[in-house]
Amino acid sequence: MINGKPLYLGVRGQWSFSDDQVFDLVRKTVRAQRAFWNDYNVKFYTVGLLPLKYENENEREVDGRGFSNTFVTAGTNTKALGLDDLTFLYNHELMHHWFGHILKQAEPENAYKWFHEGFTDYFAHVAMLDGGLFDQEAFKKRINNVFSVYYSDSTHQWPNEKLQNDYWSSPAIKILPYQRGLVFAAYLNESIKKYSRGTSSLKQVVQHMLAEARLYNKPFSVDRFLQLLKETSGQDYAPIVERFITQGSFIAMADWEKVTDKVVLGPTEVYDLGFTTDKGGIGMNARLTSFTEGGDAQKVGLQVGDVMVGFKSDFKPTSYASITVKRGEETLKFKYLPSRRIMVPQLK
């Protein structure tokens, strides 16, 4: 029970964790989010967990879909899938009760992913911190990980129109609105707190939008959002939305310094293939054309002209990647660390 409202969990199959562990996670998540928004209007809530088919025990895949008062999760019930894999999934997806169910998505949907996915990500993190699901250090680490990935590549400054049109074309493009929206939400929160002299925050703006959505059943509106931001802080955020969201420019360190001293430049290791190819990235028969200076890919012996015939990586800067190339008549295998160090805005 959450504030007198029943909470149900349905589980099918055998998992590497117990039903009680899942229910405890769901209960903590729902309790934290309901308390964060002070919203107990639902009569009940149900979460389901269903197994997906898999070919080997190393597969780790989980996804979900929300319905009215219900969220259904599907995952590979392998030993590789642990409870930690469900933790943020549940916190993100259940937050869609507010960003999507109450405050409905605007159309065209892909044009506003920065809000409906990015702000969902941001407030999922904030509610987890507020509800004690993790501490300040864990919160900072997770947010800084997003900052690191987002700021790591200048191509992430694609305009919103490109993200809208090409959203389903690749995982790299699909994740960008999540990252951009989270970074923008963090920036707005600090900006609002500064210009309102600490009397308000982004949370209060969203609460106002949620109240109006309940009254008038209207979807998210950028114009109304901008109006509320101005009423709350006295600042005109239209040029900022145009620059950071529509055009896609990074929120630079100079921009952060105008609104907060909680963000500083810090070193981070980011994922970097370490090379370019004639196909623009990884691909069968892609020919290596150049290397990141001083990178591990070149140090292990890869050469310009090598033709890629195999590649395996979990796309983390701390995990080794394996690449197989053809060099003349030879087939060669290399293992290297796909990372580089850069300076990016970070929470201190």
Give dist(CA 185, CA 96) in Å, integer. Answer: 16
Q: What is the pTM of this model?
A: 0.84
Residue 139: left (phi > 0), alpha (psi -120 to 50), or beta? alpha
Q: Dihedral of the CA atoms 202, 198, 184, 292 (nearest 10)? A: -150
- Ranges in the chain annotated CATH 2.30.42.10: 268-346
Q: Please give the CATH number for the structural domain made up of 268-346.
A: 2.30.42.10
Half-sphere exposure of 227 (CA within 13 A, CB side): 7
Give dist(CA 57, CA 45) in Å, integer. Answer: 32
What's the residue count for the chain? 348
Token look-up 């008549």 returns 329
Distances (CA, A) of 283 to 45, 247, 288: 44, 30, 10
pLDDT in tens for each of the 348 residues of the chain? 788 889 999 999 999 999 999 999 999 999 999 999 999 988 888 999 999 988 888 888 998 888 778 889 999 999 889 999 999 999 999 999 999 999 999 999 999 999 999 999 999 999 999 999 999 999 999 999 999 989 988 889 999 999 999 998 888 889 999 999 999 999 999 999 999 999 999 999 999 999 999 999 999 999 999 999 999 999 999 999 999 999 999 999 999 999 999 999 999 887 889 999 999 889 999 999 999 988 999 999 999 999 999 999 988 888 999 999 999 999 999 999 999 888 999 999
